Structure 1
Amino acid sequence: MRTFGVEEELLIADPGDGLPLALASGLLDAADPSDADPGGESGPSLKSEFKQEQIEVNSRPCRTATELRAEIRAGRELADWAARAVGARVAALATPPVFHATPTAGNQRYATMGNEFGLIAREQLTCGFHVHVSIESPDEGVAVLDRMRHWLPVLLALSANSPFWMGADTGFASYRTQIWNRWPTAGPMDVFGSEDGYRAVLSTLLGTGVPLDEGMIYFDARLSRGHPTVELRIADVCLYAEDALTIAVIARALVETSAREWRKGEPPSSTLTPMIRMANWKASRFGVNHQLLHPLEQRPSSASAVAAALLQHVSRALTDAGDLALARTGVANILRRGTGERLQRQAYGRRLRLSDVVSTAIASTHDFGERSDAGLLSR
């Protein structure tokens, strides 16, 4: 069984007016494990990100969906516990509804990126959802990247959670994708063929002097620099914790399915990279509300048909992991009620107040149905 874990980037916000608050350092101080605060080294951990208005929650590697569900819930509770300590809350919003461009702070590398990339960096307050899945070797990891690349836009559609930007409804389900793709290395990539091919592409890109370092290789999926994992980076942070779990188990099954194809000698995806970009754009624009591009046929198809094709593709791996029922139920729930973007628009539509979007998102971020045993919010 492959281990898997997640990184969730959460927005730090004022629970009253919904404005982002640059308090990441305060959250890290409040959640310092040396002070025996919740989480600590034995559970999910917090980390600063590109902007002080966001915080990253890292789960531990898990073997089962049950373990990962507990990690996601505990991580969100830990982040919110720390935010409450400094007068804020955290919300799983992939873009802030109201925001003004801000400089980066607290990290020399980020400051250098700010100087180099100007407004792209100043406006880069977006929150993603990254799934790490263990691999046996870099060669296996590159084989996986080559064989799952045309399926990744479906994960974007299932996670879409960023309709608002700079106080306006963008018309997109995931406007985070449009903002993120302004970075020069972001998006889908061609087939690499081998680890040597992957490293050659990275070396060529770094040789241009445009990306500052390997950390700025922002492919939709990549080999992790610090862990023996493939890192799927395409998704918005999910408003609902159960949606995050659904996408994580499907991501693990997608990695396993791709690795099995490689071991059988099946060739990499032949889908042209421009077609994957079209699929990403459709997923960003419509989420699950309209037609997407079918990963196999590259033609418009309903979101339900595209999601069904993905589930069929990974069904054997889901079954072997004991996750098939969870994935089917999770996808059905997303298709029925929509992703986080739909709830955001509904919240805004009631009184035309963007602050309502944030307050509703805060509540949904921490609505786990049955309360977890951690009990952090009561502290």
Structure 2
Amino acid sequence: MALRFGIEEEYFVVDPVSREVVPGAGAVVRRASAALGERTSTELVEFLAEAKTPPCDDLDKLGEQVHAMRAAMAAAAAAEGVRLAATGTPVLGEVVPAPIAAGARYAESRAVYRGLDDEQSICSCHVHVEMPDRERAVQVSNHLRPWLPTLLALTANSPYWAGRDTGHACWRVLAWSRWPVAGPPPFFESAAHYDDLVGTLLGCGALMDTGTIFWDVRPSARLPTVEIRLADVATTAADATVFAALVRALVQVSSDAVEAGVRAPDPSPETLRAAYWLAARDGLTGRGMDVRTGRPAGFGALAGDLLAHVLPALREAGDLDVVTRGVRRLLAGGTGAERQRRAYRRRGRLTDVVDAALLHDR
């Protein structure tokens, strides 16, 4: 039986005229909650609104939920006189210092992380995949590590930051990497090893609490899932669901390997960091690194390797055709970052980039 999975997405609140980011998430979320209930929420920064799907057991259901979720959020934003844009970083607007939401937790975050909070206007996509227990989630995390740079290259959707082209395909991951506990997770021998390290980080003050463990893969603190958190929010619902299906297949293959007693590869932190940077700079068009071998490899070729690696799980779940077409579409037509730049080149207007990323209430 296929593993249950779900998606969390963050969106920028933008002014419909200037297309600049504006602080209006609270009103949007309050209105959207009539349709989504607790599946919508605010974030640290008032530019951001979040929504999530319920757990789903097949890709068609997940796709329906993502479309419905985005439509509900778009309708709520329109009713409040704003719009929502699905980009990993803010394309236009004055974003530093960011407007921090009210509340005791966010005030504590400001006290601990200080200037980091002021610059964290970023939108990501998190995929949760159900796990039988935390031990399995931690061991699966080990098996996912070699594939994280390739997943990052596939989902790059943040080339612009506040009116400028950063030259990178995924600027969000570089901004995010400054946090003390972020990026690719370490290799863990067990859940106890994970808990020991988290305890050390809590004890020294590098973590405010377990909710601020921002590794790109982690066992969820609230749900019986492994959470994959490295992707930019996708421009389209179709891209989001393809990514979720690919992640679920990778988790399934990894879980099967854990059950069979296969030890995960353990690429060094240095090679993972370098591969991340290369993926963030150039996306799928770049020549990156295969961290399993330490040798140069194009991320397009590595995407093909990933598809081959997860093919049995995709076939078993009935997702093979959808995911194969989706990955081929990205390889042929470009990632979100490439599409953003094409939107800009048509008339040289960043407002066109925002317009191409707007959610619609349909």
TM-score range, shorter chain: over 0.9
Task: Name the CA distance, whole Å, in 1 between partners of 2:51 and 2:165.
Answer: 27
Select the residue among 246, 249, 253 that pairs with 1:253: 249
Q: Which residue of 2 aligns with 1:357?
A: 353
Tell me how far 1:115 sits from its aligned partner. Answer: 3.4
Identity %: 38
Contact 1:220 1:233 in 2 (8 A): yes
Partner SS state of residue 31, structure 1: helix
Are 2:139 and 1:143 aligned? yes
Alpha-carbon spacing, 1:103–1:89, altered in 2? closer, same or farther (3 Å): closer
2:277 equivalent in structure 1: 281
Per the alignment, do residues 262 and 278 of structure 1 end up closer, same or farther by CA in structure 2, a change over 3 Å counting? Answer: same
Q: CA deviation at 1:356?
A: 1.9
Shift of 1:294: 2.0
Distance across 1 between alignment mates of 2:55 and 2:246: 16
Give the 3 Å change call, closer, same or farther, for CA 115–166 of structure 1 in structure 2.
farther
Is this contact kept in 2: 1:191–1:269, CA < 8 A? no
In structure 1, distance between residues paired with 2:106 and 2:332: 40
Equivalent residue, structure 2, for 1:303: 299
Please state if 1:51 is matched with 2:60. no
Q: Which residue of 72, 80, 94 maps to 2:74?
A: 80
Deviations 1:274-304 (A, max 9, x none): 2111111111111112212224323222222
The count of corresponding residues between Structure 1 and Structure 2 is: 359
2:63 matches 1:69: yes
Checking the alignment, whether the CA contact within 8 Å between 1:18 and 1:358 is kept in structure 2 is: yes
Aligned-pair distance for 1:82? 0.7
Determine the structure 1 residue equivalent to 2:162. 166
Which region of structure 1 is more displaced relative to structure 2, 94-103 or 109-118? Answer: 109-118
CA distance in 2 between partners of 1:319 and 1:114 (Å): 46
Q: Superposed, which structure 2 residues align to 1:1-379 within 5 Å?
A: 1-33=2-34, 38-40=35-37, 45-99=39-93, 100-101=95-96, 102-362=98-358, 365-366=359-360, 377=362
Alpha-carbon contact 2:23-2:99 (below 8 Å) kept: no
Task: Give yes or no for contact 1:103–1:114 (8 Å, CA) kept in 2.
Answer: no
* TM superposition shift of 1:40: 4.3
Q: What is the one-letter code of the residue matched to 2:272?
A: I
What is the SS of the residue equivalent to 1:32? helix
If the length of structure 2 is used for normalisation, what is the TM-score? 0.96
2:300 and 2:284 mapped to 1: Cα distance? 8
Aligned mates of 1:218, 1:265 — CA distance in 2: 28
Tell me the CA shift for residue 200 of structure 1.
Answer: 0.7
Task: Give, in whole Å, the separation in 1 of the partners of 2:357 and 2:133.
Answer: 39
Q: Is the 8 A contact 1:190 1:272 kept in 2?
A: no
Q: Pick which of 126-135 and 142-151 moved more.
A: 142-151
- d(CA) in 2 for partners of 1:148, 1:65: 21
CA distance in 1, matches of 2:315, 2:12: 35
CA distances 1:138-170 after superposition (whole Å, capped 9, x unpaired): 111111011111111111111100001131100
Q: Distance in 1 between matches of 2:42 and 2:188?
A: 32
- CA distance, structure 2, for counterparts of residue 312 and residue 126 of structure 1: 32
Give the 3-state SS of the residue equivalent to 1:292 in structure 2. strand
- Preserved CA contact (<8 Å) 2:170 2:337: yes
Indicate conservation of the 8 Å contact 2:46/2:99, yes or no.
no
When the two chains are superposed, the root-mean-square deviation of aligned CA atoms in Å is 1.4
Cα 1:223–1:246 shift into 2, 3 Å: same
Contact 1:39 1:74 in 2 (8 A): no
Letter in 1 for 2:17: G
The code of the aligned residue for 2:223 comes to H
Please tell me whether the aligned partners of residues 12 and 24 of structure 1 are also in contact (alpha carbons under 8 angstroms). yes
Q: Is the CA contact (8 Å cut-off) linking 1:16 and 1:355 kept in structure 2?
A: no
Note the residue ranges of structure 2 that are not aligned, 5 or more in a row: none
Question: CA offsets, 1:312-364, max 9 Å, x none?
Answer: 111111111111111111100011111111121122223322222111211xx
TM-score by length of 1: 0.92
Runs of 4+ aligned structure 1 residues displaced above 4 Å come to none
Q: Say if 2:47 and 2:99, in contact at 8 Å, map to a contact too.
A: no
Q: Deviations over 1:21-49 (max 9, x none)?
A: 2111101221233xxxx3447xxx21111
Give the 3-state SS of the residue equivalent to 1:132 in structure 2.
Answer: strand
Q: Could you tell me whether the CA contact under 8 Å between 1:16 and 1:359 is conserved in 2?
A: no
Check conservation: 1:131, 1:233, Cα contact below 8 A: yes
**Equivalents in 2 of 1:299, 1:73: separation in Å?**
40
After TM superposition, give the deviation of residue 87 of structure 1 in Å.
0.4
Amino acid at match of 2:109: M
Q: Does the 8 Å CA contact 2:185/2:218 hold for their aligned counterparts?
A: no
CA distance in 1 between counterparts of 2:110 and 2:37 reads 31
Which sections of structure 1, spanning at least 5 residues, go unmatched?
Answer: 367-375
The residue type equivalent to 2:78 in the other structure is: R
Q: How many angstroms does 1:4 deviate by?
A: 0.1
Alpha-carbon contact 1:279-1:292 (below 8 Å) kept: yes
